[in-house]
């Protein structure tokens, strides 16, 4: 089954304790991206990757790191989590980051990781 | 700054009734607009995509409209079902000079369908 898999689904941690949220897709997609979703703010992009070894900052990258060593995996790293990073996180992928004519392919989202930092 | 605004923020309707969700955007240059459905505890799933030249597109009981002149879109749900209870997110795509598309997300409308 084609899917984007995030782990863990729920995570409670303390301030300053490094953590990694994994994301894996089995659709051979070039493009992968991380978002955070907060009430009233909608989805905001943290980092994205156009392909292996190519990553770039989104709208809210502070406090986060990513890597793209393999096409299928795109982990999100919080080196020193803080309470303002408490949020619902989504990983997403699509075949290409570019428009194809007037259309572009939809994002395929994982089921989210709810992170609480105390 | 590109913005996508959705209204209402939340909506409660009875099963079997129709409803319409609104999306206004300021994204330019416009590439396309997509509606996503997000069930509680799940990631968003694409419902429909609208390009500049399209006015109306249907996907089952969901019908999206687009007025590119006024930069408004709507999502109409006909004969609502309990399974329609979800958040509906409007996402507008901007065509960058590099060819890469940049997305602006609305904050969503939370729909609750009651029996």
Instruction: Report CB contact under 8 Å: A92, B43.
Output: yes
Tokens in use for B85?
A: 């209870």
Instruction: Report CB contact under 8 Å: A41, B99.
Output: no
Instruction: Report CB contact under 8 Å: A99, B52.
Output: no
Testing the interface with B: which of A43, A47, A50, A112 to mutate, by most B Cβ within 10 A?
A43
Instruction: Report CB contact under 8 Å: B32, A41.
Output: no
Residue A100 touches chain B, beta carbons under 8 Å: no
pLDDT in tens, A8-63: 999 999 999 999 999 999 999 988 999 999 988 889 999 999 889 999 999 899 99
CA B60 to mean position of chain CA atoms: 15
Distances in whole angstroms, Cα of residue B39 to Cα of each of A107, B76, B88: 16, 17, 9
Concatenated DSSP letters for A54-77? EEEE-S--TT-EE--SSSSB--EE
3-state secondary structure of B36: strand
Instruction: Report CB contact under 8 Å: B45, A97.
Output: no
Nearest to A43 among B9, B32, B105 (CB): B105
* Residue A35 with chain B: CB contacts under 8 Å: 105
Tokens in use for A15?
A: 């301030």
Q: What's the pLDDT band for A106 if we cut at 50, 70, 90?
A: confident
More confident residue, B92 or A101: B92
pLDDT in tens, B39-74: 998 999 999 988 888 899 999 999 999 999 999 999
For position B98, what pLDDT does the model report?
Answer: 62
CA–CA separation, A103 and B53 (whole Å): 11
CA–CA separation, A65 and A16 (whole Å): 14
- Dihedral class, residue A83 (left if φ above 0, else alpha if ψ from -120 to 50, else beta): alpha
Tokens in use for A112?
A: 């989210």
Cis omega before residue B86 (within 30°)? no
Tell me which chain B residue has its CA closest to the CA of residue A42.
B107
- Beta strands in A9-69, from DSSP E residues, in sequence order: 10-13, 19-25, 31-38, 42-51, 54-57, 65-66
pLDDT at B77 over 90: yes
Mean pLDDT of chain B: 92
Tell me which chain B residue has its CA closest to the CA of residue A89.
B43
Testing the interface with B: which of A35, A37, A88 to mutate, by most B Cβ within 10 A?
A37
Q: What's the pLDDT band for B96 if we cut at 50, 70, 90?
A: low
* Residue B36 with chain A: CB contacts under 8 Å: 106
Interfacial A residues in 47-86 facing B (CB < 8 Å):
50
* Residue A50 with chain B: CB contacts under 8 Å: 100
Residue labelled with tokens 């923020």: B9
């Amino acid at each position: 089954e084609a899917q984007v898999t995030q782990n863990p689904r729920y995570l409670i941690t303390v301030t300053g304790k490094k953590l990694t949220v994994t994301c894996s897709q089995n659709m051979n997609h070039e493009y992968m991206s991380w978002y955070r979703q907060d009430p009233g703010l909608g989805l905001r992009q943290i980092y994205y990757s156009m392909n292996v070894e190519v990553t770039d900052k989104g709208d809210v990258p502070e406090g986060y790191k990513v890597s793209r060593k393999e096409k299928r995996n795109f982990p999100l790293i919080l080196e020193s989590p803080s309470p303002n990073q408490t949020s619902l996180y989504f990983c997403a992928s699509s075949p290409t980051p570019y428009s194809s004519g007037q259309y572009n392919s939809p994002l395929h989202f994982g089921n989210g990781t709810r992170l609480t930092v105390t | 700054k590109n913005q996508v605004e959705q209204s209402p923020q939340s909506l409660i309707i009875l099963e079997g009734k129709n409803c319409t969700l609104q999306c206004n955007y300021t994204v330019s240059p416009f590439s396309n607009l997509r509606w996503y459905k997000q069930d509680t505890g799940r990631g968003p799933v694409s419902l429909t995509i609208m390009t500049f030249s399209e006015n109306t597109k249907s996907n089952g009981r969901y019908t999206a409209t687009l007025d590119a002149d006024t930069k408004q879109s709507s999502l109409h749900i006909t004969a609502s079902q309990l399974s329609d209870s979800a958040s509906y997110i409007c996402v507008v795509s901007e065509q960058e000079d590099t060819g890469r598309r940049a997305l602006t997300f609305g904050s969503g409308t939370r729909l609750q369908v009651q029996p």
